[in-house]
Amino acid sequence: MPREITYREALREGLDEELAYDDNVCIIGEEVAEYNGAYKVTEGLWKKWGDKRLIDAPISEAGFIGMGIGASMLGIRPVMELMFYSFAYVAFDQMMNNAATCRYMSGGLTNCPIVVRGPANGGTNVGATHSHTPENIFANMPGLKVVSPSDAHDVKGLIKSSIRDNDPVYFMESTVLYGMTGEVPSNDELEDGELIIPLGKAKVKKEGTDISLIAHGRAVVTSLQAAEILAEKYDINAEVLDLRSIRPLDEAAIMESVRKTHRAIYVEENKPFCGVGAQISSMIMEQAFDDLDAPVLRITSADAPAFYSPPIEKLQLPNPEEIVERALTIC
């Protein structure tokens, strides 16, 4: 039987393996060490690796993210945990202006191999100030890489390649996914002895012929649920393409899927205005217009601050029924 572990466990495995792989890797953030992490992602790692490799930071994202960026310029490979990605805005200057431009401004002499990871999602009823999905904001800045894994297999392989990358990688997870299980091979089952997924490679999660549902992060799970309904109730064979990383972006995979199915919907929990889906839609229209049999559609979170009320917030986010309804309008 294939091994099944949770998203949280797979992420922890990837971090543990990178701590063993490179002595320069360390993990810094609020409660990541002695308290096992706010979401128990780093549980047990402090006891195993000690104070120099897992460091509890004060409640000052501007302070510890800035410290991590400086350390990365000196050869350390810090993995910085944000309790919520909403708190990245406190360290916006460091993350956007310093980390992103470091290699360019130094003429390629100084790298900034930092990973900033944490949950970037709504749907957990924690209010508007704790529910941001800023992947589009960070992807807008040249010099940054943005990753958003949708399952346990990918979160392990992508965190390992992100830590080894010499550019800043902003790694966006979902608290809703932490407890979800998936198949993740153990290292002794792999030819190379470890699971590494290169950045910038999308993955077809379900083959299809009638419409492409393109997504990232938790929206991939929602799209797979919608694809199942489309097949069972309407005999529509939807393809689901998971971007996995938003920047670098696998344009070839997007175009290949659209040219096969001739219809596309981008699904995301990001807001619609200047969102990731807006960029993807524009690319499809520019590069594959003659292959389309219908307009490209986007399904996003409602364009408003995250609602606190659980039943209302549920309506704010994309759901399988909405995807099915919109898919039927172009199929």
pLDDT digits (tens, 9 = 90+) for 139-149: 999 999 999 99
CATH class of the region 203-330: alpha beta
**Is pLDDT of 326 > 90?**
yes
Distance CA 42, CA 1 (A): 27
132 is known as an active-site residue:
no
Nearest-5° angle of CA 238, CA 222, CA 262? 25
Mean pLDDT of 147-152: 98
pLDDT digits (tens, 9 = 90+) for 270-294: 999 999 999 999 999 999 999 999 9
Confidence of residue 192 (pLDDT cuts 50, 70, 90): confident
Of the pLDDT bands very low, low, confident and very high (cuts 50, 70, 90), residue 246 is: very high
Looking at domain 4-189, which CATH architecture does it have? Answer: 3-Layer(aba) Sandwich (3.40)
Measured CA to CA, the distance from residue 65 to residue 45 in angstroms comes to 20
Domains of the chain: which residue ranges?
4-189, 203-330
Region of residue 103 (phi > 0: left; psi between -120 and 50: alpha; otherwise: beta): alpha
130 catalytic residue (yes or no): yes
What percent of the chain is helix, strand and coil (3-state, nearest 5)? 40, 15, 40
Residue of higher predicted confidence among 227 and 192: 227
Average pLDDT over residues 13-17: 98
pLDDT band at residue 1 under the 50/70/90 scheme: low
pLDDT in tens, 200-218: 999 999 999 999 999 999 9
Angle, CA of 196, 37 and 145, to the nearest 5°: 40
| Nearest-angstrom CA–CA distance, 27 and 15 | 9
CB 238, CB 211: distance < 8 Å = yes
Q: Residue 258: is its pLDDT beyond 90?
A: yes
> pLDDT (tens digit, 9 = 90+) per residue, 77-128?
999 999 999 999 999 999 999 999 999 999 999 999 999 999 999 999 999 9
Single pTM value for the model: 0.96
**Residue 186 confidence (pLDDT):** 93
Structure confidence by residue, pLDDT tens digits, 160-177? 999 999 999 999 999 999
Residue 191 clears pLDDT 90, i.e. is over it: no
Share of the chain above pLDDT 90, in %: 97
Which residue(s) pair with 201 in the sheet? none
Reported as a single tens digit per residue, the pLDDT across 62-74 is 999 999 999 999 9
Segments in the chain forming alpha helices (H): 7-21, 45-49, 61-73, 92, 102-105, 135-139, 152-164, 218-234, 251-261, 276-287, 310-316, 320-330
**Of these residues, 9, 61, 173, 268, which one is catalytic?**
61
- Do 4-189 and 203-330 share a fold? yes
Res 2: pLDDT: 74
Choose, from 30, 130, 216, 268, the residue flagged as catalytic. 130
- Say how many Å lie between the first and final Cα of the chain, rounded: 38
